[in-house]
Amino acid sequence: MAKKKFSKEWVQQHINDPYVKMAQQKGYRARAAFKLIEILDTEKLMRKGDIVVDLGAAPGSWSQVARERLVAAGGVIDGRVIALDLLPMEPIAGVEFLQGDFREDTVLHQLETMLEGKQVDLVISDMAPNLSGVGAADSARIQHVCDLALEFAVNHLKPDGALIVKAFHGSGFSQIVESFKRHFVRVVERKPKASRGKSSETFLVGQRLKS
């Protein structure tokens, strides 16, 4: 009974959520689009001509935002958006999509082939593992996902590039921050207005790789 009540409450909250309404109005696939928009604006990231890799992209709202930022006159994309996810994703005009498991070397190799040896300006990751509710196991999964994104960024970013990942406050969070600080000159935590108040999600932004 409690579960039913919870899901009903969640549905009600979702329907009345201003960011859900705005996402529908603007044609974004998820309210998460506004989290990325705020981070990009605050940190002054992403310019025309950038190469952007979106890890864990489905359903595609972050790729939609990235595409918008790179569209030049005449609707031509000035730059590249390469999206990757384990799940299928409805096509987005001008966004290159690779379906596969980011944890597998073969998929990573395919992604590197698509990059054609070019370095990346921005890596974005709204990836979150399936959580079990067991604290220690979940924090290990979250840390693993963040480590994978960080490792990819360290190997493929331009020296002045940036990485945005979703993390969660709690056990293991400080270790993720420490990992970022080992590799980036500037590391900040961001909790966008579109993040639900009760959510422990926090986005980490790393800028400029340490040489």
Sites in the chain below the pLDDT cut of 70: 1-6, 9-15
Q: Is 166 a catalytic residue?
A: yes
* Long-range contacts of the stretch 16-23 (C-beta < 8 A, 24+): 19/194, 23/61
- Residue numbers in the known binding site for S-adenosyl-L-methionine are 60, 62, 85, 101, 126
Which of 4, 21, 166, 181 does the annotation list as catalytic? 166
Instruction: Give Cβ neighbours of residue 122 (< 8 Å, ≥ 6 apart).
Output: 45, 46, 50, 51, 52, 53, 66, 161, 162, 163, 164
Asked if 144 and 127 count as a contact pair (C-beta separation under 8 A), the reply is: no
pLDDT of residue 1: 41
Q: What is the pTM of this model?
A: 0.90
Q: Give pLDDT, residue 54.
A: 98
**Domains within the chain, CATH numbers bracketed:** 29-209 (3.40.50.150)
Residue 2: what pLDDT? 47
